[in-house]
Amino acid sequence: MLPAYLLNKIIQQRGLNMSLNRDSLVALCLIMLSGGLMLASFEIREPDYGVLSPAAWPRLIIIILGVLSVIYLLQSIRMPKEAKDAAPRKSIGEFILYWRNVIAVFSIFALYLIVLPYLGMLIGNILFSFILLTVLGGWRAILMHLLVALGASGGMWLLFTYVLEVFLPRGSLTGL
């Protein structure tokens, strides 16, 4: 916490209406991580063939991550002091209730990873998409969730299997 304290002191001495908080420190860590990843991307071997460098896509993603991290830092610095201190302490039940969608997404994804070797990519993705859409979107549009899951997962499976000729994992139970 010493760096944040010193930075806040410098900001206050200059008369700026800004202060650093946990979000600012996270943003600074993300910016440093982006810089480290960019440096590491220069270690990617360049083959003698091909038009596009193998490092092009990773660098694009790293640049996007860096730009979003800078935006995050600027927003966290400009946040009013009242908004930073307004977060009350919550009980465990309130915390789980507040973050229920995030907890549900991570739990469903963990189950998806567990059953993927048994069901395979096609059926696993259809079930994952359908369950995730239903949990987050409610039970009213269940037919729409099924159609979206079938269309998106089936379309991606067709694209990767027949157009790009990528071998996707097959399930030991289903063979698909």
The domain boundary, picked from 33, 54, 85, lies at 85
SS3 content of the chain, % helix, strand, coil (to 5): 70, 0, 25
Alpha-carbon dihedral angle through residues 163, 167, 173, 175, given to the nearest 10 degrees: 50
Residue 176 lies in a domain: no
Q: Identify whether residues 97 and 58 lie together within a single domain.
A: no
CA dist 54 and 72 (Å) reads 29
Give the mean pLDDT of 127-143.
Answer: 91
**Does the pTM exceed 0.75?**
no
Residue 120 in contact with residue 112, Cβ under 8 Å? no
Residue 173 lies in a domain: no
Give the mean pLDDT of 110-127.
Answer: 91
- Provide the domain count of the chain: 2
Give 174's pLDDT tier (boundaries 50, 70, 90). Answer: confident
The whole domain housing 103 covers 92-163
Instruction: Give pLDDT tens digits for 22-46.
Output: 888 899 999 999 999 999 999 988 8
CA dist 167 and 110 (Å) reads 22
